[in-house]
Amino acid sequence: MALEEVQVAATGVSPETIKLIATAATIAIGGIAPAIAIGMIGSKGMEAIGRNPEAAGKVQSAMILGLAFSEAIAIYALVIALILKFI
Amino acid sequence: MEISLAAEKIGHIGSLPITNSLLLSWISTAFLIVLAIGATSNLRTIPQGIQNVFESIIELLLNLINGVLEDEKKTRQYFPLLATIFIFIITNNWLGLLPGVGSIGINEIKHGEQILVPIFRGGNADLNTTLALAIIAVISVQVFGVAAIGTFKYAKKFINFNGPINFFVGILELISEFSKMISFSFRLFGNIFAGEVLLMVIGFIAPFIAPIPFFLLELFVGMIQALVFMMLTLVFIKGAIQEAH
């Protein structure tokens, strides 16, 4: 305990601060790649539907599936952030 | 405002704890059973009332599953499990949005301060429920695969000694079955729990009018997550019943 107090006194940064920053950084950085992935999947899906409107149903099903997979990565990051915050 | 990652216990049966999300899962099961009995009690050839609603839901799901499997016989074979997954998850999610969930509770003293333990909580906002559903889904995929192409051929997908690369790929496939369990459970849990936290925070900051778009979002997310769970199980079943190329 004396070490932590010395750390806080010397640098002004305590474990609670680091925990807070880690929580925010987890979800912020963890959401970048899934957001890009969802954007790309959506754009390719719309392009495919535009080219071939008859296959819209099949393209839509495959697109939603791909969206769910990539969104899951963002959800993993969110779960880690929640665990950091509440446990 | 207290947010707990784990579902809070509100009672015991013998030595088994009952959590608030388990209570809501029971309520949604009872709700579905009552609806099903009401729909099938006086079956008519030209449907009316609840039977009509149920028939349209079943037709929707059948068409969806048929679109992926493209085989009527297989669709009917795998329809019960997939439809149950969809209907159970969507009922759990939507019942968790009703007023009273998360707000009606018991005041308890924990860690020296008084907090409110709600007696209802979204059924899928508990990792136990979603893990159970994920385990059921993944084990069902294995069982359907074995039933369709035989134990030996199915095991050859995972353990085959045709060469070092194939062996390695087989081991990876085995590990990926376990990662599917984790992925299923965390996807559903993360979406629903994050939705609950969002609604609680918005209700805390701006309780009037502002929560309306968020409730719409949660309705949508609840339906999409049920659909995604069902479609992913369907796609895995489709992959499992195919012979290895």
pLDDT in tens, B99-135: 888 888 887 777 777 888 899 999 999 999 999 999 9
Tell me, yes or no, if B63 comes closer than 8 A to chain A by beta carbon. no
Tell me, yes or no, if B74 comes closer than 8 A to chain A by beta carbon. no
Say if residues B171 and B160 touch (Cβ distance below 8 Å). Answer: no
- For A76, residues 6+ apart whose C-beta sits below 8 A from its C-beta are A30, B186, B190
B161: closest CA of chain A, how far (Å): 31
Closest CA in chain A for residue B186: A76
Q: CB distance B187–A75 less than 8 Å? A: yes
Closest CA in chain B for residue A82: B5
Tell me, yes or no, if A75 comes closer than 8 A to chain B by beta carbon. yes
Q: CB distance A68–B187 less than 8 Å? A: yes
pTM over 0.90: no
- For the stretch B51-60, contacts whose Cβ atoms lie closer than 8 Å and that sit 24 or more positions apart, written own/partner, are B57/B87, B58/B83
Q: Which of A30, A33, A36 is nearest to A75 (CA)?
A: A30
Q: CB distance B186–A79 less than 8 Å? A: yes
Query: DSSP characters for B85-122?
Result: HHHHHHHHHHHTTSTTTTTSEEEEEETTEEEEEES---
Q: Distance between alpha carbon B154 and the CA centroid of its chain, in Å?
A: 26
pLDDT in tens, B148-200: 998 988 888 888 888 888 889 888 888 889 988 999 999 999 999 999 999 99
Q: Which of B230, B223, B231 is nearest to B191 (CA)?
A: B223
The secondary structure element, H or E, covering residue B203 is helix B164-205
Instruction: Output the pLDDT for position A10.
Output: 79
Tell me, yes or no, if B217 comes closer than 8 A to chain A by beta carbon. no
